[in-house]
């Protein structure tokens, strides 16, 4: 249903007030966010992979809270 609403309202973000392009941030802001994402996303993925590596084999299927 959300996809249907988005398709029916496109390109209006706020119906009858702002289009997608009017409400978007400036190109400099988007470039800043892109650089931040390109730097932080690999760090987050590496940390997640490392934590999975550290805790591998510590939990078994037959042991639980119940």
pLDDT tens for residues 7-54? Answer: 777 777 777 777 777 778 899 999 999 999 999 999 999 999 999 999
The size of the chain, in residues, is 66
CA distance 32 to 26: 10
Enter the pTM of the model: 0.57
Q: Between 51 and 6, whose confidence is greater?
A: 51
Contact 15, 9 (CB under 8 A): yes
């Amino acid at each position: 249903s959300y996809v249907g609403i988005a398709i029916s309202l496109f390109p209006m973000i706020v119906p009858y007030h702002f289009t997608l392009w009017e409400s978007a941030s400036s190109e400099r802001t988007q470039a800043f966010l892109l650089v931040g994402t390109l730097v932080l996303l690999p760090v987050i993925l590496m940390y997640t992979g490392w934590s999975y590596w550290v805790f591998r084999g510590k939990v078994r299927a037959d042991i639980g809270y119940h």
